[in-house]
Structure 1
Amino acid sequence: MAPGRIWRKSSYSTANGSGDCVEVSVARVVLVRDTKNASGGRLAFSPPAWRALLNWL
């Protein structure tokens, strides 16, 4: 796990918890995880790759 990281929930997440939600933690490596399975797998991006993904969307 990544102790001490601050996770932010996607602004597209629904308030009632029924939506597909992701959380992002930005540091030297950007991590993305499933809100409903916080201890599960994570995607890791370099900051430039993360910016490129966001710009592509």
Structure 2
Amino acid sequence: MTLRAFRSRFYPSYEQESLLRRTLGCVRHPMESSTSQGCRTLYRHGTTRTFGTFLKLKVKS
């Protein structure tokens, strides 16, 4: 099986760029929270949780 990679580039319009910035900004907070939570859990207990498990915990709270 041969693995292939393609590199592409796009030039978004002003509206598309604005939407991308908002979307990535919204995603950044949960990702950073899960990373810091995983680091704390690893340090305390020697194991980590998956991102999905973290989201389930956040929804219950």
TM-score (norm 2): 0.30
Select the structure with the greater relative contact order (CA < 8 A; seq sep ≥ 6): 1
Higher Rg: 2
Looking at secondary structure, tell me which structure has more helix per residue: 2
